[in-house]
């Protein structure tokens, strides 16, 4: 939109300039077409200033997102590597399910910062090597709401990205959290990410268990179709599973 407006203003300048044989400011009394040209020039200058300001703001938000990701990685050992892998899986799976979603720039930020709410979870819970108590599980599950609240005012997260952060632990059958959403009431980006997240969670070391084989993760994802996962997303996962396996091997190397 901004680009088309700038092109239009440049066209006005060229047309108006062709109506004068002498420089505008050399004429004592300005003609209406000269006033139009001066207005166009001033408006174009304002638009260019606004575009520069928007770029600075966007850069500042991107740096903020990077800082959040770094803070989470420092707090939760292994989160950095997990986030990088799961972003790659989720993007590949999104291309297979609904490529148009990738046009939403917030989506990848949501993939990266899906667990940002864990910044508010005590280390004693995050790094516990045995089963969590009921109260500890409640605190751990709060990270989805904390994360969405923390980033709710960041423009780069508005859209599918914020939905991923809040809803990636919802389940197709309604037994997930924090809102117990069911089926297609769960944002599509979150439904896609849930499969990618589970794939990496099962195949990665955790404080309370060792990584399981790739085949175990694949079997679990298929078994949870229509229970934990959107069946259409699981079907798409099955179609590209060999590609995801090769991607994992390249990242491990």
Does domain 77-252 match CATH 1.10.3210.10?
A: yes
d(CA 55, CA 141): 36
Q: Read off the pLDDT of residues 10-35 as tens digits, 9 standing for 90 and up.
A: 544 444 444 444 444 444 555 666 66
Report CA-CA distances (Å) from 160 to 46, 75, 100, 152: 31, 26, 12, 12
User: What residue spans of 98-174 are helical by DSSP H?
Assistant: 106-112, 123-126, 134-141, 143-150, 160-167
- For residues 160 and 188, is the Cβ–Cβ distance under 8 A? yes
d(CA 49, CA 96): 40
d(CA 136, CA 126): 10
Among residues of the chain, what percentage have pLDDT more than 90?
49
d(CA 208, CA 217): 17
**Domain residue spans of the chain:** 1-75, 77-252
pLDDT band at 94 (very low <50, low <70, confident <90, very high): very high
Q: Say what the pTM is.
A: 0.73
Q: Read off the pLDDT of residues 134-181 as tens digits, 9 standing for 90 and up.
A: 999 999 999 999 999 988 887 778 889 999 999 999 999 999 999 999
DSSP state of 210: P
Which residues, including other chains, have CB under 8 Å from residue 238's CB and lie 6 or more apart?
A: 222
Closest to 201 in 3D by CA, of 223, 216, 183: 216
**3-state SS string for 67-117:** HHHHHHHHHCCCHHHHHHHHHHHHHHHHHHHCHHHHHCCHHHHHHHCCCHH
Within 10 angstroms of residue 234's Cβ, the number of other Cβ atoms is 20
């Amino acid at each position: 939109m901004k680009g088309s407006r700038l092109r239009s203003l440049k066209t006005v300048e060229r047309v108006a300039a062709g109506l004068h044989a002498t420089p505008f400011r050399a004429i004592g009394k300005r003609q209406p077409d000269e006033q139009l040209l001066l207005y166009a020039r001033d408006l174009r200058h304002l638009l260019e200033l606004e575009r520069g300001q928007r770029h600075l703001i966007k850069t500042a938000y991107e740096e903020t997102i990077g800082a959040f990701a770094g803070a989470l990685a420092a707090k939760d050992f292994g989160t950095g590597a997990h986030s990088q892998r799961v972003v790659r899986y989720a993007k590949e799976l999104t291309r297979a399910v609904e490529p148009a979603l990738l046009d939403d720039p917030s989506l990848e930020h949501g993939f990266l910062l899906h667990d940002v709410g864990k910044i508010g979870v005590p280390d004693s819970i995050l790094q516990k090597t045995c089963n969590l108590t009921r109260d500890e599980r409640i605190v751990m599950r709060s990270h989805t709401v904390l994360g969405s609240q923390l980033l709710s005012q960041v423009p780069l997260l508005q859209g599918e990205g914020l939905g991923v952060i809040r809803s990636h632990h919802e389940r197709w059958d309604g037994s997930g959290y924090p809102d117990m959403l069911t089926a297609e009431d769960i944002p599509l980006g979150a439904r896609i990410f849930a499969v990618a997240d589970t794939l990496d969670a099962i195949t990665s070391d955790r404080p309370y268990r060792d990584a399981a084989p790739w085949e175990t993760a694949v079997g679990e994802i298929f078994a949870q179709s229509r229970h934990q996962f959107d069946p259409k997303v699981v079907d798409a996962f099955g179609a590209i599973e060999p590609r995801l396996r090769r991607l994992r091997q390249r990242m491990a190397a």
